[in-house]
Structure 1
């Protein structure tokens, strides 16, 4: 398991598109706290929200959205099998401490958002081993302000 995570982590990287910011005061508060939220999508055009806490990952996400880079545009990380206030549409979310960006990853962790939702009870076994999720078509859409 550790070997798989190390291998996936080595593939890591980022995500891209157009910046649509939150209100300035709220965005500044989140930046000061070292937390940022980004809407992402995949080929299904469904959307989710990811919380980033790592300053390097936040900077990379913002660089993707600003068009400053196209490297590592996809999201990967371990999922938590419960909803969260900032991502209410889904019964799962990324563990912020595990989120990274990538260019290429192994097939066993690839799945679209609706499929993960429909098979969440199987995640962590043969489906998404270790609950590690790396949707190949994921990409950031915009930075958002979480719901209160």
Structure 2
């Protein structure tokens, strides 16, 4: 009896996992059938760390709206910029040698110290990102403040 319950529990867990994975795929297929996707639009935003400025790209419509709410003053709690550092330059973010992965961007009110660094410090120490500097490549400059939406540079 115990073995049957364990097998049933395992089967249920695998089924729930498969269902959880299938739903996002079905949503993408449904969106594709209408010719639109949640990531079909993009917008560019600039933030400052008090010294330098950095431009990042957003492709998620909810995140784009959240950034616009921050700029308009509607959102006042989660206003810092956080994301995964990609060690390649982006055409819209000169002169920096890195970018933030658009799908990783989020906004925060408080974050751990381990992900805090200035824009220029990350650029100067880019080879250390993902190791001792910014473990997991997660960057959350505490002094980040959105300054404006940028038209496609």
Same fold (TM over 0.5): yes
TM-score norm. by structure 2 comes to 0.72
In structure 2, list runs of 5 or more residues that go unmatched.
Answer: 1-38
In structure 1, list runs of 5 or more residues that go unmatched.
Answer: 1-31
Which structure has the highest helix share of the two? 2
Q: Deviations over 1:31-61 (max 9, x none)?
A: x9410100110122x1010101111111111
TM-score norm. by structure 1 comes to 0.75
* 8 Å contact from structure 1 (residues 48, 89) kept in 2: no
Among 34, 43, 48, which residue is 1:41 paired with? 48
Q: Larger relative contact order (C-alpha < 8 A, sep ≥ 6)?
A: 1
* 1:85 aligned partner: 91
Alignment of 1:38-77 (within 5 A): 38-44=45-51, 46-77=52-83
SS at match of 1:43: coil
* 2:109 aligned partner: 103
Cα distance in 1 for residues equivalent to 2:101 and 2:50: 22
Deviation at 1:69, TM superposition (A): 1.9
Q: Which structure has the greater CA radius of gyration?
A: 2
Q: Root-mean-square deviation (CA), in Å?
A: 1.3
Asked if residue 135 in structure 1 is aligned to residue 127 in structure 2, the reply is no
* 1:22 aligned partner: none
SS at match of 1:51: strand
SS at match of 2:85: strand
* 8 Å contact from structure 1 (residues 73, 101) kept in 2: yes
